[in-house]
Amino acid sequence: MELESSYEIGRTAEFIESNNFRRVALQFPDELLKESVRVVSALRASLNNKEEVGLFLMADTAYGSCCVDEVGASHVEADCVVHYGHTCLSPTTKLPALFVFGKAPITVSDCANKLSHYAQPSGKPVLIPTLSCSGGSECKREVQFANVMCSVMNPSKDPQLSNDIVGAADGLTSSNSFGTVSGNVYRIGGLVWELPEGRKMEDYLLFWIGSNNSAFANIVLTYSGCEIVRYDASECSMVTDLSQQRRILKRRYYLMEKAKDANIVAILVGTLGVAGYLNMIHQMKELITAAGKKVYTLVMGRPNPAKLANFPECDIFIYVSCAQTALLDSKEYLAPVITPFEAMLAFSRGSQWTGAYVMEFRDLINSSPVDSRNQSEEARFSFIQGGYVEEFDREGNDADEGKEGALALANATEKALQLRDNPNSIAKRMAKSGAEFLAARSYQGLDIHYDTSLPGPYLMGRSGRAAGYQDEKSMQEKLE
């Protein structure tokens, strides 16, 4: 019964049968893989062991496990995906999805008592953006609860911009409404709540129930102007000191200043299923090009320091992914990793950061049209270098783009070699493209000689095993 309740076996089987799905992909995060065999067996029994229904277990997703892995599901030609565990509820583009959130234990009386004791002196209304509850009206003070946006998601009609959601709590339905704010309706990380008229978020005490995870970091960054406390249900403790989390904002501002001085920018594709990711990549390319910088696009799954170290020419990386995986702690990386929102602030001349923070890249699509004519030609003051710097000539970059590929590479290589020969040069830091960076390196890989078209001589290798090749003496022969 506990397995049936936690993994909603009956509801999942009804979802499969009512939609007549024949190939179902079951996506488990790493921490739930130990239960996957039991879940599949129970689900198979609930489906009366129908042979025409195929269940395919998916694990080790290429990107964040909180997103629906449509790429992995397409490998088995699945009709739908059943996603287990924590999710960001990012809209899908091709496949319908059923979300099974699971259940975590909590001591309700202890949580309510500590919340009441903390909130009593301030007199502020309380907003709990972590769970839905029908008993809010019975509380002595005003308590507002968030609802889960949906439990069943249909793919978007426009794979890049919109989504259709069904099964939302309290009858809420949404289409292309994953924005953080829409009137008095607030949405973040799959949660939705509506404030009374005349109220704003700063008026509320945000009470988060759960662990210190990426979802909580999104709340702290997005609503930095609110008073926020966290209740750790696993330890039955109240955490009121959020100085470490708020310090993240200071570091993000520092990374934005680092991005302004970047010459070579790489866009990291962190998702292939979240609706709108292609639009965001194209918008980032236009923004970076208009800022007079060189841009490259990289697809490598989950990034780590070792992977990104293979691209030392890149001064900054922009990570296009869902909101709950977008913030990477890049202290161990050779180059910083920033979000699309931070990139828009860094590469749009004259933009000022008001302290507001946007995690969802879908909220940024077409929000700031790029016009290269508005880019200032004046020198910019760099807080990192401590002086004024001049941006690269955009017209020169555009001219290089219009040339033949081989000619452009030759010109870049010649210029880079001249810079390298100059003992006072800082060619690596001033490289405008990957070609110039490669030409300025002391090691450029194996040299290929084209002086002859004849193949080189070949030698016969050894035969046998590594423990004793045929041309080696045996141990007995060596002793003799």
- 322-353 burial, b at 16+ Cβ within 10 Å, e below that, comes to bbbbbbbebeebebbbbbbbbbbbbbbeeeee
Q: pLDDT at residue 422 above 90?
A: no
Rg (CA), the chain: 28
Q: Which amino acid is at 60?
A: D
Rounded to whole angstroms, the Cα distance separating 162 from 41 reads: 36
Which of 170-174, 350-354, 401-405, 446-450 has the least mean pLDDT?
170-174
Q: What is the pLDDT of residue 40?
A: 94
Q: What is the mean pLDDT of residues 423-443?
A: 67
Of 148, 221, 144, give the one whose Cα is nearest residue 184: 144
Q: What is the mean pLDDT of residues 85-97?
A: 88
Locus of tokens 């990426």: 214
Which of 75-84, 241-250, 450-459 has the least mean pLDDT?
450-459
Q: What is the pLDDT of residue 102?
A: 86
Three-state SS across 263-292? CEEEEEECCCCCCCHHHHHHHHHHHHHHCC
Tens-place pLDDT, residues 122-132:
788 888 876 44
3-class DSSP state of 11: helix
The secondary structure of residue 314, as a DSSP letter, is: -
pTM: 0.75
Determine the distance from the C-alpha atom of residue 161 to the mean position of all C-alpha atoms in its chain, rounded to a whole number. 17
Highest mean pLDDT among 189-193, 208-212, 425-429: 208-212
Rounded to whole angstroms, the Cα distance separating 404 from 122 reads: 67
Percent of the chain with pLDDT over 70: 76
Q: What is the mean pLDDT of residues 408-416?
A: 56
Rounded to whole angstroms, the Cα distance separating 370 from 441 reads: 34
Q: What is the pLDDT of residue 156?
A: 62
Q: What is the mean pLDDT of residues 271-290?
A: 89
Q: State the DSSP H helix or E strand holding residue 220, giving kind and residue range, or none if neither.
A: helix 214-222
Tens-place pLDDT, residues 93-144:
889 999 999 888 888 889 888 888 888 887 888 888 764 443 433 445 578 8
Q: Which amino acid is at 442?
A: S
Q: What is the mean pLDDT of residues 85-94?
A: 87
Percent of the chain with pLDDT over 90: 24
Q: What is the mean pLDDT of residues 75-92?
A: 91
Which of 214-223, 322-331, 440-449 has the least mean pLDDT?
440-449
Determine the distance from the C-alpha atom of residue 467 to the mean position of all C-alpha atoms in its chain, rounded to a whole number. 48
Q: What is the pLDDT of residue 284?
A: 93
Rounded to whole angstroms, the Cα distance separating 273 from 261 reads: 32
What residues have CB less than 8 Å from 74, skipping those under 6 apart? Answer: 94, 95
Q: What is the pLDDT of residue 272?
A: 83
The secondary structure of residue 419, as a DSSP letter, is: H
Highest mean pLDDT among 4-13, 327-336, 361-370, 446-455: 4-13
Q: What is the pLDDT of residue 428?
A: 42
The length of the chain in residues reads 480
User: Band of the pLDDT at 316, cuts 50, 70, 90?
Assistant: very high
Compute the mean pLDDT over every residue in the chain, rounded to the nearest whole number: 78
Which of 233-247, 255-269, 358-372, 398-412 has the least mean pLDDT?
398-412
Residue 208's alpha-carbon distances to 113, 121, 129, 131, 232, in angstroms, are 15, 18, 6, 9, 9
User: Band of the pLDDT at 426, cuts 50, 70, 90?
Assistant: very low
Domains and CATH numbers, the chain: 2-100 (3.40.50.11840), 108-240 (no CATH), 250-378 (3.40.50.11860), 403-440 (no CATH)
Q: What is the pLDDT of residue 383?
A: 65
Locus of tokens 């841009």: 295
